[in-house]
Amino acid sequence: MVNFQGKFYNAIDAKGRASIPAKFRDELERVFGDNHLVVTEDKSGVVAYPLPVWKEIVAKIEQLPPGQFRDDLYLTTVSPAIECSFDKQGRVQLSQSMREHAGLVGEEREFVAIGVAKKILLMGREQHAQSRAQAQARLDDNPQSRFDLGL
């Protein structure tokens, strides 16, 4: 099973291409023998799935009954998705809307790539720092549960 892990700081070039860490490309190659990703929007930035994983997700969504939940998923997640592949240097082109969504506009050239099981999260460093701080704060409110896990 595919399992991306690790956190990396990489950069986006002036034309909006994000260079994907070699570790992730290797994992993709290892499991799927492939170099395609589907990139879409996410609550806290941009997220990339291997194509086969994405197809499974969409298949499940399409089986949902028509209604608000389904529409919401389409609007936020399914519709913005774009399939893309790496160039020779291991970069993918991110559309303007994604860059904006991930906080990668203007002179912000650095982003964070985080492997989370079968998906890869991408977001601006600023945005990452914020999300991380919020997560940490929530955890701090709950020291017992954390302890119980052995952390």
**107 secondary structure, DSSP code:** T
Compute the least distance from the CB of residue 42 to a second copy, in Å. 8
Residue ranges binding DNA (CB under 7 A): 8-11, 13-17, 19-23, 25-26, 87-91, 93, 95-96, 109
Q: Which of positions 44-83 make contact with a second copy (CB under 8 A)?
A: 53, 56-57, 60-61, 68-69, 71-82
Whether the Cβ atoms of residue 20 and residue 91 lie closer than 8 Å to each other = yes
Any long-range contacts for 56-63 (C-beta under 8 Å, 24+ apart)?
A: none
Q: Measured between alpha carbons, how far is 39 from 20 in angstroms, rounded to an integer?
A: 12
Site string for a second copy, 11-50 (x = CB under 8 A): ------------------------------x-x-------
39 touches 138 (CB < 8 A): no
Q: Is 105 in the site for a second copy (CB under 8 A)?
A: no
Q: Is 151 in contact with 145 (CB distance < 8 Å)? A: no
Task: Report the residue number, 76 or 85, with the smaller CB distance to a second copy.
Answer: 76
Question: By rule CB under 8 A, what string of x and - marks binding of each residue 115-144 to a second copy?
Answer: xx-x--x---------xx--xx-xxx-x--
Query: How far apart are the C-alpha atoms of 101 and 104, rounded to whole Å?
Result: 7
